[in-house]
């Protein structure tokens, strides 16, 4: 998975994020969608995400993972 530069991240549409209102958890690629799910689980367990946010991330990432590239 390649690193997103600030310019690349800024050019992504809101729809490329699992939490578009925060522009957090990019899911523009299958690898980033998979990573978003893993990070959401970690942050939920640390108390940094609500159950609703984690569910929203998982659902958005699952939709991306179900797409054919």
Q: Percent of the chain at pLDDT above 90?
A: 93
Q: Is the pLDDT assigned to residue 29 strictly greater than 80?
A: yes
Give the side-chain half-sphere CA count within 13 A for 9.
13
Q: Is the pLDDT assigned to residue 13 strictly greater than 70?
A: yes
32: Cβ–Cβ under 8 A, 6 or more apart, which residues? 1, 26
Q: What pLDDT score does 8 carry?
A: 95
Q: What pLDDT score does 69 carry?
A: 63
Task: Report pTM.
Answer: 0.91
């Amino acid at each position: 998975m390649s690193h997103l530069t600030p310019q690349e991240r800024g050019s992504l549409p809101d729809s490329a994020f699992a939490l578009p209102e925060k522009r957090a958890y990019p899911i523009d690629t299958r690898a980033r969608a998979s990573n978003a799910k893993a990070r959401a689980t970690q942050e939920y367990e640390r108390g940094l995400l609500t159950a609703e946010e984690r569910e929203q991330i998982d659902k958005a990432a699952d939709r991306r993972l179900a797409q054919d590239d």
